[in-house]
Amino acid sequence: MPPVRRADSIREPMLPLLTRSSFRALRAFLILVIAALGACSGSPGGGDEVVQISFDDTIEIVTASGEAPGDAPGDARGQGEAIVSMITDWYQQAFLDPAGWRDPKFPEIAGLFAGDARTKVETEIESVTIGDARDEVRSVKPDEAEVAVTIYVGEDGRTDYAVADVSFHGTGALKKDGVPLTIVQKAVYFLRLEVGGWRIFAYQARNDQAQNPPPGAAP
């Protein structure tokens, strides 16, 4: 008589084998779930994409004699390009990238100023950044960005003085529903080349922000 085999009281459940088509369907479902969770949690991909700013720039070189410089003396043109790059990074952080708005004092922007200009800008940082609108705006789209840089070359060939004329127009989307915020910022910066790069020693700046209803909207 064959021995009696005892069945286990708890048996592992048998999982059905996934077919190729059902596996693809499961994978697609999981991708949708992960994407939805990312949007709800505010992780990358769930918020507004940060737009990169690109300035329409012109660089002019003026010599002490007043004569056309021909081929840019020394590294004058390269210094002009360095100023354009500095202003591009500055406006990207101060107006377009919410990650740069966390500190209302904008210390990295204030660090571009020197002497009396540094003291002044620390009391009116809103004139050269998005300012208090940082609390209301979700994202900003640049509509217009222009910079004209004039490099002054001394008799000794040094390129240690410059002027940058900047114009920026942007549209800010509010965190809550509402009319978009129009940002119009204009400034003239007077720069001097110091150890570590260009610094602003004097400036004039104005930043106008308003919620303007679209044309034809009821008042």
Residue 95 exposed, middle or buried by CB count within 10 Å (0-12, 13-18, 19+): buried
Residue 166 exposed, middle or buried by CB count within 10 Å (0-12, 13-18, 19+): buried
- Residue span of the structural domain in which 84 resides: 56-211
Domain CATH code at residue 73: 3.10.450
pLDDT digits (tens, 9 = 90+) for 64-87: 766 655 555 558 889 999 999 999
The structural domain count of the chain equals: 1
Residue 95, domain member (yes or no) = yes
Tokens of 171: 């549209």
The residues near 73 (Cβ < 8 Å, ≥ 6 apart) are 61, 63, 153, 157, 159
In 94-212, where does DSSP find H-type helix? 107-110, 115-123
Residue 118, domain member (yes or no) = yes
The rounded distance, in Å, linking the Cα atoms of 170 and 184 is 7
Q: Are 87 and 165 in contact (CB under 8 A)?
A: no
pLDDT digits (tens, 9 = 90+) for 114-151: 999 999 999 999 999 999 999 999 999 999 999 999 99
The rounded distance, in Å, linking the Cα atoms of 115 and 205 is 17
pTM, 2 dp: 0.74
Residue 17, domain member (yes or no) = no
pLDDT digits (tens, 9 = 90+) for 93-109: 999 999 999 999 999 99
Quote the pLDDT of residue 141: 95
Residue 109, domain member (yes or no) = yes
- Cα–Cα distance list, 152 to 80, 88, 126, 199 (Å): 10, 21, 29, 15
Residue 88, domain member (yes or no) = yes
